[in-house]
Chains A and B, each alone.
Chain A
């Protein structure tokens, strides 16, 4: 599904971060990417999600080159194919949990029927993740774990092919981290969503099918 070939990326202040990184990901496959701070885990996710552009290399999604997409094409790609979860849930504080979850649907025009279907799907996911009772609450009214679960549901609302999770449990306590980690694994296998998980936590990484480590700007399988 996803092929990343010889990605290179450097920053003026940081120098070379990715130095010819390559990766292949099959449909529904789940991988964890570990490494010390500054090794390039977030950079990789940002590049795959087209939030940033590589200096060189190729990113092929279903054999289509995506890293040369225009800004609008990249946005559409992120909306339809990618789901992002970040360490900080990044829920909008002025929208309720339900509105936050439905937010990705506002990025493009949807017919009323299609919208209703999505809402139904959202409810299903909310039930699945145990946050249905929080739909009318605001992010500052729920706990970190609950907010992160809402972020997970938001990331999945458009049934993306690929979920990019950047330290999703970084701000959570162990219990919530365990819940979220399990959810990730289950939902991925239930809905066939591939996952790239960037994490420090080996406990979480072990929930994925393959574990990589970034060393010297390249991926090394552990």
Chain B
């Protein structure tokens, strides 16, 4: 029998179930948006994490040799000392073509694998021999390939000797194979194996490692996950098992001289390795042997001789400084004697591809006989294009040889003495002129008293792997971390759903207000009966708690549904935002609970604030009904007129004065118009009425009298509808577009017409006559093309197309002189050290050892790398040292998005093995763009060229942002629709407040139909006023964009406006139906 608080609350809720239900529905929608957004972010992150895990298969750690290679048997040796599964892999890129129909895909991944790859990934019963290939399902689908089909795979030649190394042979940079497809690997069979951090599905080909490279080398070791070793421990184990042969080093004994020497397959030893070997073998002495183009004395010229720079320790006779020894053959040939000054020319080792010659004068210190250690053909490195050739004129030294200079006697010398140097100078001098980015020695000689075996033993397990370019990382952790820190779709969708959330807030406040107002007399009863404030608050809040919990619980399920819809859309129509269709909708306890909690706390706080305010008002005896407006209508009219006039004048001036109307000016005009129209509406509401009999429409005059007392009830809905429409329309109109400005030199394309990438680097400078000739670009229209060429170091795409947070973006090395001349591109941010009128000059500067500057797209910095100007990226240079790249500026939306740009000079210094250029910007006559594209596609087909216009490239990036804007438009539109449904609330609320007034009108002869008509007209005017204000001001703000663009989503915008109007009308008509005569009469009777 006891009337407990619980009973009071439940009975109240049951009685007011309609109002309670309305509130719960609003809370449900709010919760759905919060929960759905959190689940979407969770789904994306989880999908990226799952995808990363599946791609890595059983791989946990990764050892990489960077741009260098090692013997693949290293995996078995590492397994032997650690007991964990490992697999050597050769990873490279290329293109694939279906044999027969010419269908081709560029930029695929090619993996040279061994049986250890299958062991590591627990794949049973598979074997790939030299004629077979396996592909993944994604590639099979794209090229419509089946088992048994034949494919042509093209990639750059894999060789220890970089093709841009001095005297590397010119031929054979491209390798091609024909394979038969033996398997189509599923994901479970490691078909989607990838070491890249990105969400797009890879296109993979797996072949036998020994078929992929001439020397069967590898460049990656995959290490089993879940092992007990740390990365440092594994690296120590690696060091302990490294023998010289693993690193392409060999130790050779010379019978002729008695020396032992260490040689490298790369021909040149870089300085760090020289130092490392010298520290292991004291007495080891570097030698550098170089090809001298000409040796001349007073017009007598000797062509193409080798010269060796040696250390005093092994060759004490060699003089210091610019004094040289020459052999008797050379002395006789050019008539040189002791004391003579000879002029030597040679190609600059760092500018070999430009065929830049250097010259130096040297003094003959002595003439030696060709005997003993001076008769040493083994001093000449084993240049593949020179060693073993029958004659000098058959040399392939990677550069043009003037064969007409080679005489019979030169050929005779070659036949007898092969590459025996004719010139000897000291090592320090030789290093100054012939050391390059590739290294500072062609051999390391060891005194005869140290045997070959002793050398091998000393080097085994002693060379630091990092000095040979090895690096180890926890690739699994890196990928998971990148996925965890990926684009935050939770925050994004909560932001994009702002209008839905705002509408829910407003509707909830209105619903709670309405609920409380309708129970004013009952709450008064509680006061009168002696219930304390606290008790009354508790009762009301208890009701709200139950409503909130019910709404939030339902909202969680609605949010799960919302997430399903959004994920489907992300995989489909909104695919532009994620660039993949592999996102899976996942329900997680934590995000669901977080969404529940967020909505619950929000709704309960709103309700608490309203209840508290309401009770305070009741206590103070305040009537919410009687607040007198103290604003002078005339003042409002003047301000409104000023704003509207200012807006119109600004818009006219924008068009009349400025050649091209500015968006900032039109936006200001739109804003002024918006404010002016709202104030105008306010004025129309509060102005003093003319006598009733003088007004045209006396029904609305009565309404106007009411609203002049309570202007907020007319102005707030108009403000909300118009503000929402304004935001939705300007979002829809202002999509990112490639316009004239983007295509200009200062724009995002830099004035270039085409963007091209090749999988096989191009060695030649295509801006030179020789470069153009080499690739058939010497004739019109190709001769009119100019290029900006960039060397590329592979990395993880940092553009907006990659959802992951990357830390190793790909690097481009460019010669900034073209960009400096053209003052191409624009910058959003710049380091203060940079010169704003010549920012590209920064790429030529280095603030310290191993420190250089780089630029990146501002979008990449902010969203991809999450870095700022002045921050530093750290890379492993090829020689194992750290390279620090200070971000000196952010480019405005450019075609370079995804890359970090550095100067080519420094790039080549730290990554000399990147031979050639893989990224190109082509410029010329815009009318010939189509022709340029055809020609370049044809000429560089075998290089695996992928070419697009710079406009297309920018549009691809803009697609991501524009997709987000589309999402905002849709969700914003939904929010607006919710908002206009709130008009029905307002109608009911107004009606309840004015029941007495309407009851009196009924008593004086008005029909119920007429009363309904009055209420409906009021709300329609509010709806129309809101739509007109919002639309007109938005169109004003975006007029320049509307005029210029043909791809504004007009249909979508009109659909949203129509949906708002139709939903609003429907909601109003629905609400008006519930007003009936009997209810009014009963109110009259009571009064």
Contacts and interface: CB of A to CB of B under 8 A. Distances in A.
Nearest to B531: A107
Nearest to A115: B2
A163 B16 CA distance: 31
A88 B3 contact: no
Nearest to A106: B3
Contact of B528 (A76, A78, A115): A78
B522 interface: yes
B522 A107 contact: no
Interface in A191-214: none
A72 interface: yes
A99 interface: yes
A13 B627 CA distance: 10
B535 interface: yes
Interface in B742-794: none
A157 B1086 CA distance: 27
Interface string B795-824: 000000000000000000000000000000
A92 B626 contact: no
Contacts of B533: 71-72, 75
A145 interface: no
B703 interface: no
Interface stretch (A33-41, A58-66, A79-87, A174-182): A79-87
B589 interface: no
Interface stretch (B6-14, B179-187, B487-495, B845-853): B6-14
Instruction: Give the residue among B5, B8, B530, B533 with the most A Cβ atoms within 10 A.
Output: B530
Contact of A107 (B535, B621, B628): B535
A21 interface: no
B4 interface: yes
A103 B1086 contact: no
Contacts of B527: 51, 75, 78
Nearest to A160: B530
Given A99-B3, A106-B3, A92 B522 contact: yes
Nearest to A116: B1
A20 interface: no
Nearest to B522: A92
A116 to B, nearest CB: 8
Interface in B509-544: 521-522, 524-535
A75 to B, nearest CB: 4
Nearest to A158: B530
Contacts of B528: 49, 51, 78, 84, 86, 90
Given A92-B522, A171-B1086, A104 B529 contact: yes
B521 A88 contact: yes
B619 interface: yes
Contacts of B16: 94
A102 B619 CA distance: 24
B409 interface: no
B1073 interface: no
Interface string A117-160: 00100000000000000000000000000000000001000100
B526 to A, nearest CB: 8
SS class of chain A's interface: helix, strand, loop or mixed? helix
Contacts of B1086: 88, 171
Interface residues of A, number: 37
Nearest to A86: B528
B141 interface: no
A94 B14 contact: yes
Contacts of B521: 88, 90
Interface string B13-43: 0111000000000000000000000000000
Given A13-B626, A90-B521, A92-B522, A107 B530 contact: yes
Instruction: Give the residue among A79, A92, A105, A154 with the most B Cβ atoms within 10 A.
Output: A92
Interface size class of B (residues with CB under 8 A): 20 to 34
A77 B530 contact: yes
B532 A92 contact: no
Contacts of B14: 94
Contact of B530 (A75, A92, A115): A75
Contacts of B12: 92, 94
Contacts of B525: 90-92, 103
Given A52-B621, A88-B1086, A90-B521, A106 B4 contact: yes
A119 B5 CA distance: 17
A124 to B, nearest CB: 16
Contacts of B15: 93-94
A51 to B, nearest CB: 6
A220 interface: no
A184 B580 CA distance: 81
Given A94-B12, A106-B8, A84 B529 contact: yes
A75 B524 CA distance: 12
Contacts of B621: 46, 51-52
A172 interface: no
Given A94-B14, A95-B11, A106-B4, A76 B529 contact: no
Contacts of B529: 78-79, 84, 103-104, 107, 154
Contacts of B530: 75-80, 82, 104, 107-108, 158
A105 B3 contact: yes
Nearest to B536: A75
Contacts of B532: 71-72, 75-76, 107
A139 B1055 CA distance: 49
A99 B532 CA distance: 19
A112 B1 CA distance: 10
A119 to B, nearest CB: 6
Contacts of A94: 11-12, 14-16
Given A93-B15, A107-B529, A154-B529, A72 B534 contact: yes
Nearest to A82: B530
B665 to A, nearest CB: 47
A104 B525 CA distance: 10
Nearest to B534: A72
A103 B2 CA distance: 10
Contacts of A154: 529
A217 to B, nearest CB: 18
A83 to B, nearest CB: 9
A104 B619 CA distance: 19
Nearest to B533: A71
A209 to B, nearest CB: 25
Nearest to B525: A90
Instruction: Give the residue among B525, B626, B1086 with the most A Cβ atoms within 10 A.
Output: B525
10 interchain residue pairs of minimum CB distance: A79-B530, A94-B15, A78-B530, A75-B532, A84-B528, A90-B525, A107-B531, A104-B529, A94-B11, A107-B530
26 contacts: A13-B628, A49-B528, A51-B528, A51-B621, A71-B532, A71-B619, A72-B534, A75-B532, A75-B533, A76-B530, A78-B528, A84-B528, A90-B522, A91-B525, A93-B15, A94-B12, A95-B11, A99-B11, A102-B3, A103-B3, A106-B4, A106-B531, A107-B529, A108-B530, A115-B2, A154-B529
Interface of B: 1-5, 8, 11-12, 14-16, 521-522, 524-535, 619, 621, 626, 628, 1086
Given A13-B628, A95-B11, 15 more contacts: A51-B528, A72-B533, A72-B534, A75-B530, A76-B530, A78-B527, A82-B530, A86-B528, A90-B524, A90-B525, A91-B525, A94-B12, A104-B530, A107-B530, A112-B2
Interface of A: 13, 46, 49, 51-52, 71-72, 75-80, 82, 84, 86, 88, 90-95, 99, 102-108, 112, 115, 119, 154, 158, 171
